[in-house]
Amino acid sequence: MGARENILKRIRASRGVGPEPTQSERTAVEAHIREHPVGTRPDLDWPLKDRFREQCVRMSSTIDEVATLADVPRAVAEYLRENGLPARAVAWAELAALDWSTSGVVVEDRPATGDDLVGITSVHLAIAETGTLMVLSGPSTPAATSLLPETHIAVVPMDRMVVAMEEAWALTRGTHPDLPRAVNFISGPSRTADIEGQLQLGAHGPFRVHVIVVG
Amino acid sequence: MTTTTQPPRSTGHSTGVPAAPARNGTGTFKQRAHDKLHDAKVQRAMRNFNLAGARARAVDEVPNFEDIRVTGAAIRDRALANLDVWLERFEREATRRGTRVHWAESHADINRIVVEIARAANVRKIIKSKSMVSEESHLNDALEAEGFQVVETDLGEYIVQLARETPSHIIAPAIHKSRDDVADLFQEHHRTPRKDSAADLTMEARKFLREHFLSADMGISGSNFLIAETGSTFIVTNEGNGRMTTTLPRVHVAITGIEKVVPTLEDVSCLMRLLARSATGQTISNYISMNTGPKQAGDSDGPEEAHVIIVDAGRSRLLGSDMQEALRCIRCGACMNHCPVYQNIGGHAYGWVYPGPIGSVLTPNYIGLENALDLPNAATLCNQCGVVCPVKIPLPELMRRLREKQVERGLRPWQERVGLKAWAWAAERPAIYGWLTWVAARIGRLAGGQRRLIHRLPGNGWTQERDMPAPEGATFRELYAKRQAGRR
Ligand code: SF4
C-alpha cells in the first residue's frame, strides 16, 4: 500500500470511522463547497474609496486619484518625476495601449525582467478592507511586472473595487470558473523586520507601490 | 559576483529521526534554558521584540474579534473532522489543474520525494521560501548531501542558514541575532565591505538573493493553507520571497502538513484576517500567493511543474485524541510572542522546530513524550497563550494533559514521583499532615534567619536563581484557627 492510502487509512482510524469515506461524508463536503458560507466578519460598513485609501497608506503604498483612464499617463509621468525615477516602464497590454506620446514616459508592452525599474499593471479587483491589489496571472497580465521592478504602479478603476476578500471571490467565481495559475494579493511594498525587528521596505519585491485610482 | 554565498554544508543529521539540532546548544531543555538566560546577546535580542503590542492594537480595531476567533476555530474544526475527505477533495482538484500531489508518511519520505523531483528535473540550484515542515525533516541537509545548492530566501532564514543555525521563531527566524551578528555573517559570506545599518544589510541581502532567484531551477516553499475547493496552495509572506519562489523557477514544490487543508475561499479569507493580525498586527500580510497548477498556455511566467507534498509525520496520531485541537494551529506565533517563558529563553531552548507553547504541545506529540520531557512543564500556565491564540487552542490545558500522560507513563523523575506519592499519602491523613507542616514551618523559619530568606533548598534548582521567602513560623491551619477564635 502506498503512502497516500496509509495516511488516509490512518486518519480514518484515528477518527474512529470505517476505512472508506461514506457517500454522506462526500456529499456534506461538496455541499459546503457549493454553499461556501461567509463567516463572521469585522464591521465593513465604511465608504469604499476612503477605506481603500486609508489602508493603502497604512500598508505604505502611496495613492493618487485621476478622473479617467486617459489621465493615467500624465499622473504616472508626474509621479516618476517627483520621485526622481526613470521615465521608462514596462506595462500590461491594457495600459501600454494608452496614449503615452505626450507624457514623456517610454512604455513597453512586455513582461518585466530583473533589469526593469518600473512596472505598470492594472488589477483584477481591489479590496477596500485592507488596501489590497488582486492580480491574476495570464498571457497579457504577467506576474513578474508587479514583482521584479523596484517601483510598481497599479491602476485601479473604481468599478473594480470591492469591500472585502469574500466579495472578490464572489465576482471571480463568475469571471474565472477555473482560477488562473497565480492569484496574487499585494498590499503595499515588500518588507522585512528580520534584522533586530527594524522595519525595512523592499526586501525582495518593489520598494514602492503607487496606486492610481481612476473615477 | 553571483556565487560567493556558500550555503552551509550538511552537518550530518540523519534525515529519518528528527533530533534536537546540536547547533543551537546541547543537553536538556533545562541546560539550554539556563544557557540562554545567561547569554547577554539572546537576552538583548529578545528585548527588541514587540509583536505583542502590534497585535493588541490590530485586535482592538475589530470589536467582534472574539466572534471571528470562534468562526476561525470552527473552520479549522470542520476540516479536521473530515480531514481525509477534504484532502481527497483537494487532491482531486489540484490534480485536475495539473499539480502533482505527493504524500509523505515520514520525514524521510519528504526528503526522498524532493530529491526525486529535483533529479528528474535536472535541478542544480534550489531557492526556498520559508517552510517549517522542511525544518522538521532537515531537508536542506538532505538536499546538500545529494549535491544540490540550497539557498533560503526569507531574510531571517537566510541569516540562520549562513550562521548554520536553525530558526528561533516561526515567523521571525533570526530574532536571536543582533545586527552585528548579521554584519559579521554578510561580510564573511558575501566578501563585501562591512555594513552597519539594518537598511544597508537588507539591501545587500536583496542584491545577493535576487541573483539566486533569477538563476534557480527549483523553488521550495511551505503552504499556509491548502484550499480544497480550488486545489490551490496559499503562501503568505511580507518580503515577497513566496511570490518569487512560485513565479521564477521552472519547478515549484510546496510542502505542508495534512492538517493545513481548508474547505473554501471564504474560509481562508476569514483565517487570513486572524493570521495577519495575530502574527504581526497587520490587517493583511503584504503578499498572498495563491497558486493553482503550473504555467498555462501563453503565460510568460510561472513554473512548468507544480508539486505539492502532503505530510503526515505524526500528525494523524493527534486526530481523534485529546490533542486534536493542536492541529487547528495556523502558525501565527502569537502564543510565543505572549509567553513569559519564551520571552526569556528564546526559541532554541525548546530543542526542536516549534518553540513556545505550541512547540511544547507539538514536539512531545510529534517526536515522542519521552523525548521532550521538560517541554510541557516549560510554562507557567498563565494562559496568555490560550487568550491570544486566534483559533482558540486551549494550550495550557493541552500542556496539562501532557503532564498527566507523563505521570501516567512513569516518565517523571523518581524524586518527583516519590515526592508526590508521599505528599498524597500525608494529605489523606489530616493529623499527620498537620504535624508535618507544623514541623516544616518552624524549620523553615529557622533556616530563613534574620532576613527571612532561604538561599538554598536541598536538592532543588529553584533556589539557584533566587531566594525562597521563609515561612512565618506558623502554618496556615494555625493562623486560620487563631483567626476563627478571634471572630467568635
Ligand atoms: S497555537 Fe495558536 S497562537 Fe500559537 S502559533 Fe498556533 S495559531 Fe498561533
Question: Model confidence over B265-284: pLDDT tens digits?
Answer: 999 999 999 999 999 999 99
Q: How confident is the model at residue B381 (pLDDT cuts 50, 70, 90)?
A: confident
Tell me what the mean pLDDT of segment B430-449 comes to.
Answer: 80
Which residue, by CA, sits nearest to atom 4 of ligand 1? B335
When pLDDT is cut at 50, 70 and 90, the band that residue B5 belongs to is very low
Band of pLDDT at residue B49, cut at 50, 70 and 90 = low
Mean pLDDT over all residues of chain B? 86
Look at residue B37 in the predicted model and tell me its pLDDT.
74
For a pLDDT cut of 70, what percent of chain B falls above it? 90
Task: Give the pLDDT confidence score for residue B480 in this predicted structure.
Answer: 84
- Ligand 1 center from residue B405 Cα (angstroms): 22
Give which of B459, B456, B447 is closest to B473, Cα–Cα. Answer: B447
CB contact under 8 A, B172 and A169: no
Which pLDDT value is given to residue B488?
Answer: 67
Distance B355 CA to ligand 1 centre (A): 11
User: Residue B157: helix, strand or coil by DSSP?
Assistant: helix
Q: Does residue B25 carry a pLDDT above 60?
A: no
Instruction: State mean pLDDT over B381-399.
Output: 94
Please say if the pLDDT value at position B46 is more than 70: no
Residue B358 burial class via C-beta count within 10 angstroms: exposed 0-12, middle 13-18, buried 19 and up: buried
* Domain boundaries, given as residue ranges, for chain B: 51-316, 414-487
**Below-50 pLDDT ranges, chain A:** none
**When comparing pLDDT for B465 and A107, which is higher?**
A107
* Strands, sheet with B125-128, edge to edge from the N-terminal-most edge strand: B100-104, B305-311, B251-257, B218-221, B125-128, B149-152
**Residue partners of A44: CB distance under 8 A and separation at least 6:** A129, A163, A164
The rounded radius of gyration (Å) of the Cα atoms in chain A is: 22
The single residue listed with the C-alpha cell 493541552 is B398
Decide if pLDDT at B81 tops 80. yes
Task: Give pLDDT, residue B12.
Answer: 34
Measured between alpha carbons, how far is residue B276 from residues A46, B66, B238 in Å? 21, 15, 10
The tens digit of pLDDT for each residue in B107-160 reads 999 999 999 999 999 999 999 998 999 999 999 999 999 999 999 998 988 999
Asked if residues B292 and B257 have their Cβ atoms less than 8 Å apart, the reply is: no
B76 part of contact set with chain A, CB < 8 Å? no
Size of chain B in residues: 488
Residues of B in contact with A10 (CB under 8 A): 312, 316-317
Confidence of residue B261 (pLDDT cuts 50, 70, 90): very high
**Structure confidence at residue B410 (pLDDT):** 78
Q: Among A8-12, B94-98, B464-468, B471-475, where is mean pLDDT lowest?
A: B464-468
- State the virtual CA torsion across B49, B55, B57, B63 in degrees, nearest 10: -170
- Among A3-7, A39-43, B98-102, B338-342, the minimum mean pLDDT is found in B338-342
User: For residue B423, what pLDDT is reported?
Assistant: 79
pLDDT, one tens digit per residue, over B159-182 is 999 999 888 887 788 888 889 999
Residues flanking ligand 1, CB < 6 Å: B 278, 329-335, 358, 388-391, 393
Q: What integer pLDDT is reported at residue B47 of this predicted model?
A: 63
Which three-class secondary structure state does DSSP give residue B386? helix
Phi-psi region of A144 (alpha: psi -120 to 50; beta: other; left: phi over 0): alpha
Task: Name the residue facing B266 among A39, A43, A143 (closest C-beta).
Answer: A39
Identity of the highest mean pLDDT range in B7-16, B52-61, B229-238? B229-238
Q: What CA–CA distance (Å, rounded) separates B250 from B246?
A: 9
Which residue, chain included where needed, has cell 527588541? Answer: B48
The C-alpha cell 505550541 sits at: B358
Count CB neighbours of B429 within 10 A: 11
CA B238, A39, B74 angle in degrees (round to 5)?
90
Q: Is residue B406 pLDDT above 60, yes or no?
A: yes
pLDDT range class, residue B21, cuts 50, 70, 90: very low
Q: What percent of chain B has pLDDT over 90?
A: 55
| Class at the top of the CATH hierarchy for domain A48-214 | alpha beta
Q: Is pLDDT of B256 > 50?
A: yes
Average pLDDT over residues B374-379: 78
Taking the C-alpha atoms of residue A41 and residue A34, their distance in angstroms, rounded to an integer, is: 20
Q: How far is the CA of A12 from the centre of ligand 1 (A)?
A: 25
Strands B287-291 and A182-186 come out as antiparallel
Higher pLDDT, B10 or B165: B165
Nearest CA in chain B to A198: B198
Model confidence at B466, pLDDT cuts 50, 70, 90, reads low
**What contacts B419, CB < 8 A, 6 or more positions away?**
none
User: Degrees (nearest 5) of the Cα angle A165, A169, A171?
Assistant: 115
Per-residue pLDDT, B302: 95
Interface of B with A in 285-314 (CB under 8 A): 285-302, 310, 312
From the candidates B290, B305, B308, B312, which should be mutated to test the interface with A, based on the most A CB atoms within 10 A?
Answer: B290
B149, B125 contact by CB (below 8 A): yes
Interface predicted TM-score (ipTM) of this complex, two decimals: 0.96
What is the pLDDT at residue B229?
98
pLDDT at B79 over 90: yes
**Confidence grade of residue B14 (pLDDT, cut at 50, 70, 90):** very low
Number of alpha carbons in the 13 Å side-chain half-sphere of residue B20: 22
- Cell 486617459 belongs to which residue? A70
Q: Is the pLDDT of residue B1 over 60?
A: no
Residues of A in contact with B198 (CB under 8 A): 195-196, 198, 200
| Buried/exposed B302-334: b ≥16 CB within 10 Å, e otherwise | bbebbbbbbbbbbbbebbbeebbbbbbbbbbbb
What is the longest distance spanned by two Cα atoms in chain A? 71
Cell numbers that stand for B41 in this block: 546577546
Residue B474 has pLDDT above 90, yes or no: no
Closest CA to B207 of B153, B246, B144: B153
**pLDDT at residue number B10:** 35
Q: Which CATH class, in words, describes the domain spanning B51-316?
A: alpha beta
